[in-house]
Chains A and B, each alone.
Chain A
Amino acid sequence: MKGNMTRSMAWLHTWVGLLTVWLLILIFLAGTISFFRDEVTLWTQPGFHQELGNTRPVMSQSAQIEQAVDYLKNNAPESSSWWITLSSPREPFTEVSYRTPSSQEQRGQFTSAYFSIAQPDTQLPHVDSKGGHFFYRLHFDLHYLNIGIARWLVCFASLFMLIALISGIIIHKRIFKDMFTWRSGKGLRTWLDSHNLASVAALPFHLMITYTGLVTLIFMLFPYPALTQFDGNFGAFFNAQNPTRMVIKPTGQQQPMLDTQLWLDQIYTNWPNASLARVIIENPRDQSATIKVYAGTQNKLQDEQPTLLLNAVTGDIIARANEALSPSETFYDSMIALHSGRLANTQLRWLYFIGGILGLAMLISGSLLWEKRVATSSKTESFGLKLVKTLNVGTIMGLPLATCAFFYANRLLPHTIAMRADKEINAFFITWLVCLICSGLALKHQAWFKLALVNAFAWALLPIISAIQTGLPTHLAIIEGKTILWAFDIAFLVIAMISGFIATKLYRNLNTVRAYKEATL
């Protein structure tokens, strides 16, 4: 304990925050971008841009499914798994995927085809890119790390963040009195005010996103009730919770599937007004073939989609799940829905995004506050302070630049290059690494200014490069009503302007320091 309760909490707040802040910045950035995961994916697929603006498919859902099944019967008859993802307002295309037959060494990979919803017979050209899915997975899988290790790291970072939030509330005694206070040009006081403002303005969001984030990983943190109930068998627990997860092995005896219209009738009899989201057909030519159908949850506070599992030969229902949830399932599911923001309409999605940005502002101002405070109070620069300084510049300036590099790679890499999606991701991490190295070794005192300047130029050039590569500049995107494209261009320019503003301010500060040093010599 450090004297009294408030001092102990301040100590806890500082160290718990400082230990995980850079990891949290990465998690928050990836999570914030993930709120627009589908939109980022659309931006990264120039072949899909013609579909932007089409929100209503010309074909009914059953006609789309019939067309997709016919395509799969003709193109992937030997496949063990067929996936049909139906279009939605945010994903205006039908995705038809199948698993290529597996060899003895490895499981078959998925191959996808994308169909227009305005001209259902037209297949859309697809570029090998992870798009928004990269940021979504990065948010909790941290990409290069082993999934188990990554999720434990994310678990601990979330726990630390929750502790930091609660201790922050305790130490910030004048939380309501200081609510509208922000004093500019006052050094450390300004940083503290900025930290308080970013924390308090979106406090409900920060608490919600951290707590629900922990709930998403609750079976890692606290698996004991489920393990006790199911004799240590997690698989049995998940199967009991959702019986449609059962795996039915192929018998090896061939039997044709039921006519598509017949099993669709069975689905619409059970769900008369359902908007279907996905259909998965396992072992389509086998006697044990199954059809799993997911219904969309739209704007409901529910994340798990209602699911039906049918026998593909007889059309009988084998299992159903998530139609009526128990109170505990409702609680768990609503927490996941709140965290993922999948329930959000455009307006709420933007509010989630702003909350994420304020979360980033809170983390950044917190880590800078520590750096400035220690730098002011100590005469010599310790190793710890140098490390914090390097990580601060490398992460705060490096991550936006890395994101920009990911978008550049998407537009500039040749479409035919092998492992293209991986190369885009490598561009992200290599840029981040270069920024960290530069901030630690090469740039030193000017790191903030130079990286801000590079950010400004890189983000400002991105809409131009994108327009050259896709042939669709911002003004044409506005005229043609392709909202996603011009909104992205404007977002890039806004980031460029903010980076430019920061660079100008830093340049003035550098000049002032230089002039002061010259005057004192």
Chain B
Amino acid sequence: MTYIVFLGMSLACFAASKPIIWKVFFSIPFSETRSRLLLISAWIILLLTMYVVADQTGSYGILTLIGYSSPMLVVYICLINMAKTLKGR
């Protein structure tokens, strides 16, 4: 289960690196440096998670990890849109 949490963290970093999404969740102004840092963190977390999963559970684990990315992405987009709607009100 731990690797799913890390996958979630990585996707959250990817999402937060987008200026539109950043502005929905944070009051601190968006900056290019912060975005780049988030993007680098996202890639590091994702690649490290994939390496650890491949090392410990092999191809089956990688398949599961990739499988989880789809519903997680959909859930994130739903959450982002909900937050946008709430902020709009």
> Which residues of A come within 8 Å of B, CB atoms?
177, 179-182, 184, 197, 200-202, 204-205, 299, 301, 338, 343, 347-348, 351-352, 354-355, 358
B9 adjacent to chain A (CB < 8 Å): no
Q: Report Cα–Cα, A347/B4, bound state, in Å.
A: 12
Closest to B61 in A: A348
Closest to A348 in B: B64
- With a CB–CB cut-off of 8 A, which chain B residues contact A200? 73
- Give the total number of A-B pairs whose CB atoms are below 8 A apart: 55
- With a CB–CB cut-off of 8 A, which chain A residues contact B64? 347-348, 351
- With a CB–CB cut-off of 8 A, which chain B residues contact A202? 70
Identify 7 new A-B residue pairs, CB closer than 8 A, beyond the known A179-B73, A351-B71.
A179-B14, A180-B14, A180-B77, A182-B80, A201-B70, A205-B66, A354-B67
Contact of B76 among A180, A347, A351, A358 (CB under 8 A): A180
- With a CB–CB cut-off of 8 A, which chain A residues contact B74? 197, 201, 358
- With a CB–CB cut-off of 8 A, which chain B residues contact A179? 14-15, 73
**CB distance A197 to B77 under 8 Å?**
yes
- With a CB–CB cut-off of 8 A, which chain B residues contact A348? 60, 63-64, 67
- With a CB–CB cut-off of 8 A, which chain B residues contact A299? 60
Q: Report Cα–Cα, A23/B73, bound state, in Å.
A: 27
Chain B contact-residue range equals: 20 to 34
Q: Report Cα–Cα, A177/B70, bound state, in Å.
A: 17
Q: Is the interface of B mostly helix, strand, loop or mixed?
A: helix
Would A355 and B70 be within 8 Å (CB), given that A182-B81, A348-B63, A348-B64 are in contact? yes
Closest to A299 in B: B60
**CB distance A301 to B66 under 8 Å?**
no
Q: Measured between C-beta atoms, what is the minimum distance from A231 to chain B in Å?
A: 37
Q: Report Cα–Cα, A231/B44, bound state, in Å.
A: 53
**CB distance B14 to A351 under 8 Å?**
no
Q: Report Cα–Cα, A299/B58, bound state, in Å.
A: 12
- With a CB–CB cut-off of 8 A, which chain B residues contact A352? 67
Closest to B21 in A: A180
Q: Measured between C-beta atoms, what is the minimum distance from A196 to chain B in Å?
A: 11
Closest to B14 in A: A179
- With a CB–CB cut-off of 8 A, which chain A residues contact B73? 179-180, 200-201
Would A184 and B81 be within 8 Å (CB), given that A301-B59, A348-B63, A351-B64 are in contact? yes
Closest to A183 in B: B81
- A–B Cβ pairs within 8 angstroms, 22 of them: A179-B14, A180-B14, A180-B15, A180-B21, A180-B76, A180-B80, A201-B69, A201-B70, A201-B73, A201-B77, A202-B70, A204-B66, A204-B69, A204-B70, A205-B66, A301-B59, A338-B63, A347-B64, A348-B60, A351-B67, A351-B70, A355-B67
Q: Report Cα–Cα, A205/B66, bound state, in Å.
A: 8
B68 adjacent to chain A (CB < 8 Å): yes
